[in-house]
Structure 1
Amino acid sequence: MKKIGFLSFGHWANHPSYKARTASDTLLQSIDLAVAAEEIGVDGAYFRVHHFAAQLASPFPLLSAIGAKTSKIEIGTGVIDMRYENPLYMIEDAGAADIISGGRLQLGISRGSPEQVIDGWRYFGYEPAEGETDAEMGRNKALLFLDKLKGEGFAQPNPYPMFPNPPGLLRLEPHAEGLRERIWWGAASNATAVWAAENGMNLQSSTLKFDESGKPFHVQQAEQIRLYKEAWKKAGHTREPRVSVSRSIFALVNDQDKFYFGQENSRTDKRGYIEADKRAIFGRSYAAEPDQLIKELANDEALQEADTILLTIPNTLGVEYNVHVLDSILKHVAPGLGWK
């Protein structure tokens, strides 16, 4: 049994074939899609976060709106770049979104992905400390975020406050009970997956990772997940961790599917570089008739290791078509793999 969610990149553009041509289209359609996905039995609605781009950026208003309009579906991110964040203010935003949703927030955070601008976090007012890299800054912010999410008091109260204070040090409010255990780290390397396990975060592994062995993508990703699980066990955490992997999977069940994805040319792994000097491997896409999809996906080692699958969706094609994409997987593919 696996949880199946969708992952939206939240694009928009003034293109004649797009259903999402403005930011308003993308935001409102994202809410509608999450509501419809819940109705057909999808387990999670996740959204990418990108700055300086015609894509979804600030996630908490959207997650709160979805939380208010749904009742069961998990809502989350994949991922928030911590280099851009004020961890303490983020705790307040996340706490509010989690409470509005009734404790359904699954928050993916990370050091971030290749950016639209050079050192974009500098425009947000953040600079690494002396001797610290931007990646280290992101991880250190994540650790501060995790620590203060526990809900323990740390701030000295004003002796002359506007309103009476409870006794002792003050914590950030609103406090979302249990959210600390629903934080995920997006790991591009084996080392950061191990680091995530050591620090008690769930693991998100996407459709790319650093190419650390030359093996096929799904094999490298499965090895990363196993290293994560070993590190989790070694760290002595008492709860079971969760692991998600992202995949582009399209079941070709009608002529429209074949038109959009029947000529899919990404059916093999791709290798390249991110940020000029980091060799990466990009996982293949899957597009075939259901029976063929089941055969191909059964050989994906990382899918076997994960408990949650995030299906990347073409959000610009609109809510109706994306509900069809998700429903096709639930009805025609997931049962044949034992996912549902």
Structure 2
Amino acid sequence: MKKIGFLSFGHWTPSPQSQTRSAGDALLQSIDLAVAAEELGADGAYFRVHHFARQLASPFPLLAAVGAKTSKIEIGTAVIDMRYENPLYMAEDAGSADLIAGSRLQLGISRGSPEQVIDGWRYFGYAPGEGEDESAMARRNTEILLEVLKGNGFAQPNPRPMFPNPPGMLRVEPHSEGLRERIWWGASSNATAIWAAQLGMNLQSSTLKNDETGEPFHIQQAAQIRAYREAWKAAGHTRTPRVSVSRSIFALVNDTDRAYFGGSGEGRDQIGNIDEKTRAIFGRSYAAEPDALVKQLAEDEAIKEADTLLLTVPNQLGVAYNAHVIESILKHVAPALGWR
């Protein structure tokens, strides 16, 4: 059994070919798709966060709105860029959204990907500390967030407060019990996956990974997941961690599907550089008739290792079509693979 959700980047463009032509469209359609996905029986609605781009950005108003409109589906991110975040303010926002959603948040966070502008986090007022680079800053912010989410008091109370304080040191409010165990780290390397395990975070592994061995993407990703689980066990955590992978998967069940994705062929991994130093491997897309798709997915080692699969959706094709994409996987593919 696997949890199956969708992942939307929330792209929008004023082009006549897009059904998502404004930021408002992207936000409102994201809510509508989450509602539709819940009705179809999907397990999760996840959203990507990019700054300075025509995509979804500020996540917590959207997460709270989805939480208020749904009742069962998990609501998450994949991922929030921790170079841009004040961890205490983030803890307040996350606690509020989680309480609105009834403790259904699954927050994916990470160091983030290359952005639209140079050092965009500096415009938000953040800068690495002495001896840090931007990656170390993101990890430091993450460690602060994780500590704050435990709910322990740490702030000295004012002896003459405006309102009465509870006894002892004060914590960030509102606090949502259990949210600390629903934080995920988006790891592009084996080392950061191991680091996430040591800190007790769940693992999100996307369709992009550092090319560390030259092997096919799904083989490298499966090895990363196994290394993560070994590190989790060695750290002595008592709960069972969760692991997600993201894939672009399209079951071709009608003429519209074939028109959009029928020319994708077998698909293959791609190699590229995400910055001057890092060689990355990008996982293939899957698009085929359901029977062929089942056979292809059965050979994906990383999907086998994960307990959660996130389907990346072409959000600019509209809510109705994306609901159809999700339903096609749930109906025609998941049962044949034993996921349902």
TM-score, scaled to structure 2: 0.99
Aligned to 2:38: 38
State how 1:98-113 maps to structure 2 within 5 Å.
98-113=98-113
Rounded to whole Å, the distance in 2 between the matches of 1:265 and 1:336 is 22
Cα separation, partners in 2 of 1:211 and 1:53, compared to 1, 3 Å: same
Rounded to whole Å, the distance in 2 between the matches of 1:26 and 1:210 is 30
Which amino acid in the other structure matches residue 28 of structure 2?
L
State how 1:5-16 maps to structure 2 within 5 Å.
5-16=5-16
Q: 1:241: how far off?
A: 0.1
Aligned to 2:173: 173
Q: Aligned with 2:113: secondary structure?
A: coil
Say yes or no: does 1:128 pair with 2:140: no
Which amino acid in the other structure matches residue 215 of structure 1?
E
The Cα offsets for residues 26-57 of structure 1, whole Å up to 9 and x where unpaired, read as: 10000000001000000000000000000000
Q: 1:264: how far off?
A: 1.4
Q: 1:266: how far off?
A: 7.3
Aligned to 1:323: 323
Which amino acid in the other structure matches residue 278 of structure 1?
T
Rounded to whole Å, the distance in 2 between the matches of 1:276 and 1:310 is 29
Aligned to 1:52: 52
Rounded to whole Å, the distance in 2 between the matches of 1:128 and 1:266 is 43
Q: 1:16: how far off?
A: 1.2
Q: Aligned with 2:156: secondary structure?
A: coil
Q: Aligned with 2:83: secondary structure?
A: helix
Aligned to 2:226: 226
The Cα offsets for residues 135-179 of structure 1, whole Å up to 9 and x where unpaired, read as: 000001000000010000000000110001111000000000000
Rounded to whole Å, the distance in 2 between the matches of 1:82 and 1:265 is 36
Which amino acid in the other structure matches residue 103 of structure 2?
G
Which amino acid in the other structure matches residue 292 of structure 1?
A
Aligned to 2:74: 74
Which amino acid in the other structure matches residue 105 of structure 1?
L
Q: Aligned with 1:83: secondary structure?
A: coil
Rounded to whole Å, the distance in 2 between the matches of 1:266 and 1:155 is 56
State how 1:145-184 maps to structure 2 within 5 Å.
145-184=145-184
Rounded to whole Å, the distance in 2 between the matches of 1:207 and 1:263 is 20
Q: Aligned with 1:258: secondary structure?
A: helix
Aligned to 1:291: 291
Rounded to whole Å, the distance in 2 between the matches of 1:37 and 1:236 is 36
The Cα offsets for residues 107-128 of structure 1, whole Å up to 9 and x where unpaired, read as: 0000001110001000011110
Say yes or no: does 1:270 pair with 2:270: yes
The Cα offsets for residues 157-206 of structure 1, whole Å up to 9 and x where unpaired, read as: 00110001111000000000000000000000000000000000000000
Which amino acid in the other structure matches residue 197 of structure 1?
A
Rounded to whole Å, the distance in 2 between the matches of 1:239 and 1:102 is 21
Q: Is the 2:265–2:287 contact (alpha carbons within 8 Å) kept by the matching residues of 1?
A: no
Rounded to whole Å, the distance in 1 between the matches of 2:6 and 2:201 is 20
Query: Quick one: percent identity of the two aligned structures?
Result: 75
Q: Aligned with 1:331: secondary structure?
A: helix
Which amino acid in the other structure matches residue 313 of structure 1?
V
Which amino acid in the other structure matches residue 143 of structure 1?
E
Aligned residues: 340
Aligned to 2:96: 96
Q: 1:265: how far off?
A: 5.6
Which amino acid in the other structure matches residue 27 of structure 1?
L
Q: 1:276: how far off?
A: 2.4
Q: Aligned with 2:129: secondary structure?
A: coil
Rounded to whole Å, the distance in 1 between the matches of 2:265 and 2:146 is 41
The Cα offsets for residues 223-253 of structure 1, whole Å up to 9 and x where unpaired, read as: 0000000000000000000000000000000
Gaps in structure 1 of 5+ consecutive residues: none
Q: Is the 2:247–2:310 contact (alpha carbons within 8 Å) kept by the matching residues of 1?
A: yes
The list of structure 1 runs, each at least 4 consecutive aligned residues, that deviate by more than 2 angstroms after superposition, is none
Q: 1:277: how far off?
A: 2.0
Which amino acid in the other structure matches residue 227 of structure 1?
A
Rounded to whole Å, the distance in 1 between the matches of 2:276 and 2:22 is 31
Rounded to whole Å, the distance in 2 between the matches of 1:253 and 1:238 is 43
Rounded to whole Å, the distance in 2 between the matches of 1:124 and 1:284 is 34
Rounded to whole Å, the distance in 1 between the matches of 2:244 and 2:298 is 16
Q: Is the 2:266–2:287 contact (alpha carbons within 8 Å) kept by the matching residues of 1?
A: no
Q: 1:130: how far off?
A: 1.2
Gaps in structure 2 of 5+ consecutive residues: none
Q: Once superposed, what is the RMSD of the aligned Cα atoms?
A: 0.6
